[in-house]
Amino acid sequence: MQLSQTEENYIKAIYALSERSPSFDTSTNEIAVRINTKPPSVSDMLRKLTVKKLVTYQKYKRVTLTKTGRQVAIQIIRKHRLWEVFLHDKLQFTWDEVHEVAEQLEHIQSEKLTERLEKYLGYPKYDPHGDPIPSATGELKEAKRLMLSEMEMGVTCQVVGVKDSSSEFLQYLHQIDVGIGTKIKVLEQIAFDHSLIVSFKKGHQTTVSKKFADNVLVTS
Amino acid sequence: MQLSQTEENYIKAIYALSERSPSFDTSTNEIAVRINTKPPSVSDMLRKLTVKKLVTYQKYKRVTLTKTGRQVAIQIIRKHRLWEVFLHDKLQFTWDEVHEVAEQLEHIQSEKLTERLEKYLGYPKYDPHGDPIPSATGELKEAKRLMLSEMEMGVTCQVVGVKDSSSEFLQYLHQIDVGIGTKIKVLEQIAFDHSLIVSFKKGHQTTVSKKFADNVLVTS
DNA sequence: TACAAAAGTTAGATAAGCCTAACTTGATTT
DNA sequence: AAATCAAGTTAGGCTTATCTAACTTTTGTA
Ligand SMILES: [Mn+2]
Ligand SMILES: [Mn+2]
Ligand SMILES: [Mn+2]
Ligand SMILES: [Mn+2]
């Protein structure tokens, strides 16, 4: 099925939002906020996507992706993350620069390109944000990741991704020299505001907020 | 200036058509044929591009790119050809596969991407079809493609394309094992009928007609 | 020079995406 | 159960890009 860039962006947004909901659905307003449009535009598009059997939707109710819709979403995410790896590994883009360009590259239509790119990159399993890359057949492994705020005291862990990928957050991380692979040990939790005292690398010690720790994903 | 993909494709078409005209201009109908639209669509677009100062145009007359228009065209061509090199050199796409995908990739907007890609590819001067790659500042060399019949004696060259793409010709090429990338050395020209004695690869030697040599494009 | 054919433009529609303003529905609270 | 408010849809309009049919200008040839 030949989808426009706009349709692809909607599908991807619905996927992301519904995956994080316990009932695997989402709402008109949530979609509007995420893709920076107004609710009426979303209503229009949901009608279109329903006709194309990509979403299950009745007006005034919440939306779910159909099986086809989910497959479409996963293929776009696959391309997005492969391009992110390319930009990061081959063209030395920094962590916070890759997303914006991948947002465009994910819409290039050529299966051959995707497969060749994947091979060229050495079949990477994770993108530069630590998110798993779906296989050509749509298999997507769950990354066993924790929020930094969930780590036990005294245990050293490694940064594998972020929850928030706003450029504000990514730039802050860059500023304090935290990236994929950075080793962090949680030393103490402050009862008052749940902020954490942590050490990076060789003893260099800082305090980070709960909000920060909730948005840094780590593996132990 | 932020241009749509459609506008970019028009600009590129106008560039290609006007470059091959002695007066550096082109016509509504020529553009329509090239980008597979109807003349009224072209008329509309020419009005739009005139307002944006990308073309010089008066209705019922022929159209020329402005200096800005030409710069825009060259930047798109630069991206197109760099992506062709990437697809060919890094992802092993064949010469006839690269164009279609590059047609999409040329519209990705990120100067940094273009510059990094160029560096990554080792600042190539020519694309896989032997066409020159403009520099970041818009400098553009002459094409280095010649007809095989124009080659000097004793010089080894490489096949980069064909002028005639009839299946008779392509089958003949296949039969004598000539394809893109084949190395050819011109040994002798027969005065009588301008046929050429050439050697392929390791000394394997043949005679080809003038008509053949006029339709094989090579770079030295 | 006249006048027919070709080249090009305008008029009027359509489709995709987006918007604001006005309305409807469903959920929450009393 | 009714009232209120948030969530969502519809109505109607705008822009970009396209088309066909009808018209106008330019051209090239008799
Ligand atoms: Mn996108
Ligand atoms: Mn990512
Ligand atoms: Mn293009
Ligand atoms: Mn080319």
Q: What is the pLDDT of residues B36-52, one digit of tens each?
A: 999 999 999 999 999 99
pLDDT, one tens digit for every residue, chain A (220 residues) = 899 999 999 999 999 999 999 999 999 999 999 999 999 999 999 999 999 999 999 999 999 999 999 999 999 999 999 999 999 999 999 877 999 999 999 999 999 999 999 999 999 998 888 889 999 999 998 776 789 989 889 888 878 788 888 888 989 998 888 887 788 999 989 989 999 999 987 678 899 999 999 999 987 7
Residue nearest to nucleotide C8 (CA to C1'): B60
Give the CA-to-C1' distance from B49 to D27 in angstroms: 26
- Across-strand partners of B208? B196
Closest residue in B to A98 (Cα) is B113
Q: Which chain A residues are Cβ-neighbours of B110 within 8 angstroms?
A: 100-101, 104
What is the amino acid identity at position A63?
V
Q: How many CB atoms neighbour CB B184 within 10 A?
A: 23
Which residues have C-beta within 8 Å of that of residue A169, sequence separation ≥ 6?
Answer: A162, A215
- The span from the CA of A200 to the CA of A208, in Å, is 11
Which residues have C-beta within 8 Å of that of residue A96, sequence separation ≥ 6?
Answer: A167, A170, A171, A173, A174
Task: List the single best residue of A90, A94, A106, A111 to mutate versus B (max B Cβ within 10 A).
Answer: A90
| Residues A190 and A153 sit within 8 Å (Cβ to Cβ) | no
pLDDT of residue A144: 66
Tens-place pLDDT, residues B194-209 = 999 999 876 788 999 9
Helix, strand, coil percentages (3-state) for chain A, rounded to 5, are: 45, 15, 40
Q: Which chain B residues are Cβ-neighbours of A120 within 8 angstroms?
A: 90-91
Of A166, A93, A154, residue with least CA distance to A128: A93
Residue limits of CATH 1.10.10.10 in chain A: 5-65
Task: List the single best residue of B4, B89, B106, B116 to mutate versus A (max A Cβ within 10 A).
Answer: B116
Tens-place pLDDT, residues B157-189 = 888 888 887 778 888 888 888 887 788 989 889
B120/A93 touch (CB, cutoff 8 Å), yes or no: no
pLDDT of residue A215: 93
| Cα A41 to ligand 1 centre (Å) | 17
| Residues B160 and B180 sit within 8 Å (Cβ to Cβ) | yes
Instruction: Identify which has the larger pLDDT, B152 or A86.
Output: A86
- Cα A151 to Cα A59, A164, A192, A196, B166, distances in angstroms: 42, 18, 18, 10, 67
Residue limits of CATH 2.30.30.90 in chain B: 146-219
pLDDT of residue A6: 98
- Cα B144 to Cα A102, B3, B138, B141, distances in angstroms: 34, 31, 17, 8
Q: What average pLDDT does the structure give for chain B? A: 93
Instruction: Identify which has the larger pLDDT, B167 or B120.
Output: B120
Which residues have C-beta within 8 Å of that of residue B112, sequence separation ≥ 6?
Answer: A93, A97
Distance from CA of A8 to the nearest CA of B (A): 16
Q: Is B113 helix (H, G, I), strand (E, B) or coil?
A: helix
Half-sphere exposure of A72 (CA within 13 A, CB side): 25
- Across-strand partners of B188? B197
For domain B5-65, the CATH class is: mainly alpha
- Our CA angle for A57, A30, A68, nearest 5°, is 40
Q: Encoding tokens for residue B14?
A: 């106008």
pLDDT of residue B108: 98
Q: Is B124 helix (H, G, I), strand (E, B) or coil?
A: coil
Q: Encoding tokens for residue A92?
A: 């030395």
B87/A113 touch (CB, cutoff 8 Å), yes or no: yes
Using C1' positions and the CA of A39, the closest nucleotide is: D8
What CATH architecture does domain B146-219 belong to?
Roll (2.30)
B110/A104 touch (CB, cutoff 8 Å), yes or no: yes
A110/B104 touch (CB, cutoff 8 Å), yes or no: yes
Distance from CA of A100 to the nearest CA of B (A): 9
Q: Which of B91, B92, B104 sits opposite A109 (nearest CB)?
A: B104
Whether B95 shows a pLDDT value over 90: the answer reads no
Q: Encoding tokens for residue A1?
A: 């099925």
pLDDT of residue B167: 74
pLDDT of residue B158: 86
* End-to-end Cα spacing for chain A: 42
Q: Which residues touch strand C (CB under 7 A)?
A: A 4, 6-7, 36-38, 40-41, 44-45, 48, 60; B 27-30, 39-40, 42-44, 46-47, 59-60, 62
Of A117, A18, A28, A22, residue with least CA distance to A74: A18
- The span from the CA of B141 to the CA of B132, in Å, is 6
| Residues A136 and A118 sit within 8 Å (Cβ to Cβ) | yes
Look up the pTM and report it: 0.85
The answer to which of A144-148, B8-12, B71-75, B103-107 has the lowest mean pLDDT is: A144-148
Edge-to-edge strand order for the sheet containing A216-219? Answer: A146-147, A216-219, A156-162, A183-189, A196-200, A204-208
pLDDT of residue A95: 76
Q: How many CB atoms neighbour CB B49 within 10 A?
A: 23
